[in-house]
Amino acid sequence: MKKTLLTLLIAAMLALFSACSDRAPEPEPSGGRLIVVGFSQVGAESDWRIGNTDSMLEAFSAENGYRLILDDAQNKQEKQITAIRNFINQGVDYIVLAPTTEEGWDTVLQEARAAGIPVILVDRRIDVADESLFTCWVGSDFRREGDTAAAWMEENLPDNLRIVHLQGNIGSSAQIGRSGGLDAALGRQPGWTVVFEAPGDFIQAKGQELVEELFENGTGFDVIYSENDNMAFGAVDALKAAGLRPGKDVAIISFDAGSKALRLVLDGTISLDVECNPMHGPRVRAIIEQLQRGEVPPKYTYVEETFFTSGTLTEETVAQRGY
């Protein structure tokens, strides 16, 4: 009899143990349960993006009281829509969305609203008929970045310019703003011509391929306006392979200003790098903390940013970059 009881007890304990071990252990912060955040990330297309993901993972750690469910959409909006629907099914507390492109979010955000889950946008923006479909947004002023780059070119490069324009993925806010700055300057500068324009989707290999194509076609150019650092890295490789000196024979304008690119600014390879800061984790966390306290965060928060040339950049700044 005693033996049967003991066997039963052991069996019950084993069953309990295996049921618990199915789930990841959830450390409880002092205040209670972890806040669950579903984060739909664009992908891993650039150094900027990787820095951004790391910043989010660090900010939303279990030690800080969060469980972050990260979904990498591999640059596909359909995958982001599926991820959001999964977050809704899982009943997360908050959805954080870094949108690929601006259009096409109305339906899925209505679903999130019906489920009562606040949606916070980070990095790029969206174009929805009803802005109450998202709680707030934090990111960069991409048009301002484009204007900064174009103004620098107007001041520092010759009046007659043959421009190669490597665009980010079409329809993303980063592309729209940075292309917009260049387009506005083209309207003011009769001596500027765009000899080549194509999307390289913020990807290094595509930037390289596009510039290689130019050499195959024999297109001449003076400046490459690359809408992010990784495409600029690809362009630099293609220029070098063709026997040209980037920064001397061809000026390179870039965006993001990650540490690897800033080293190229220091040595004169990149002429201008306009900063775009990806360290949004603590910013998004501060927003969620406000919401938890019942406060209303500002609808739009722009990050302060600057730009770098070899004249203004120091080794110290490069060493302090977190991305």
Per CB under 6 A, residues contacting ligand GYE are 45-46, 48-49, 123-124, 174, 202, 228, 255-256, 276
Question: CB 306 → ligand GYE: shortest distance, Å?
Answer: 15
Comparing CB distances to ligand GYE, the nearer of 135 and 226 is: 226
Q: Which residue, 51 or 65, has its beta carbon nearer to ligand GYE?
A: 51
* Three-class SS state of 322: coil
Burial label, 282 (beta-carbon count in 10 A; 0-12, 13-18, 19+): middle
Closest separation in Å from C-beta 74 to ligand GYE: 12
Taking the complex as a whole, the smallest distance from the CB of residue 62 to ligand GYE amounts, in Å, to 27
CB of 295 to ligand GYE, least distance (A): 27
DSSP string for 256-317: E--HHHHHHHHTTSSSEEEE-----HHHHHHHHHHHHTT----SEEEPP--EE-TTT--HHH
45 versus 147: smaller Cβ distance to ligand GYE = 45
| Lookup: tokens for 122 | 């980070």
Q: How far is the CB of 78 from ligand GYE (least distance, A)?
A: 18
Token pair recorded at residue 256: 């993001």
Report the nearest approach of ligand GYE to the CB of residue 65 (Å): 28
Q: 34 or 150: whose CB is closer to ligand GYE? A: 150
Distance of CA 249 to the CA centre of its chain: 31
In whole angstroms, how close is the CB of 296 to ligand GYE at the nearest point?
Answer: 26
Instruction: State which residue, 95 or 232, has the beta carbon closest to ligand GYE.
Output: 232
Tokens of 187: 């309207």
41 versus 117: smaller Cβ distance to ligand GYE: 41
* Residue 66 vs 255, nearer CB to ligand GYE: 255
Q: How many other CB atoms sit within 10 Å of the CB of residue 263?
A: 15
Q: What φ, ψ does residue 266 adopt, rounded to 5°?
A: -60, -40
Angle of helix 259-266 versus helix 229-241 axis, rounded to 10: 50
Report the alpha-carbon distance of residue 147 to residue 201 in Å, rounded.
20
Helix H or strand E segment including 102 = none
